[in-house]
Amino acid sequence: QKEVEQNSGPLSVPEGAIASLNCTYSDRGSQSFFWYRQYSGKSPELIMFIYSNGDKEDGRFTAQLNKASQYVSLLIRDSQPSDSATYLCAVPRIDSGGGADGLTFGKGTHLIIQP
């Protein structure tokens, strides 16, 4: 069973600080990693993806990947109240034949940015 683990939180961060969200995964063969943001009552929307070890930056967001440790994280700099949401880590499900069958999602981390 391929697993994606996240701390469910809530994670409370003061406005303007750095929010750090973490995710571990069990399948060493995983090649790509996605971070989705989900506001309450809304559908998930992609905010970052990363394929290679190291850091990938996009505006206030930085994704960090360490395949050796099977660990991917999301940093949000200068956190804003509008960043308050649930953040879902996702990894593609690959069957034994190398075919696609969707994404495996973690349960999500609920982030609260305190004004």
Which residues here bind other proteins, judged by CB under 8 A?
Answer: 4, 8, 31-32, 34, 42-46, 49, 51, 88, 90, 92-94, 99-108
Minimum distance between the CB of residue 113 and other proteins, rounded to whole angstroms?
20
For other proteins, the closer CB: 9 or 60: 9
* SS3 of residue 81 by DSSP: helix
For other proteins, the closer CB: 1 or 82: 1
Is the bond preceding 10 in cis, omega lying within 30 degrees of 0?
A: yes
Other CB atoms within 10 A of residue 63 CB: 24
For other proteins, the closer CB: 38 or 70: 38
For other proteins, the closer CB: 41 or 115: 41
Minimum distance between the CB of residue 75 and other proteins, rounded to whole angstroms?
20
**Contacts of 46 by beta carbon, 8 Å cutoff, 6+ apart:** 34, 35, 36
Minimum distance between the CB of residue 61 and other proteins, rounded to whole angstroms?
15
Minimum distance between the CB of residue 104 and other proteins, rounded to whole angstroms?
8
Strands 109-114 and 11-14: parallel
Show the tokens assigned to 49.
């993806």
**CA–CA separation, 10 vs 85, rounded Å?**
10
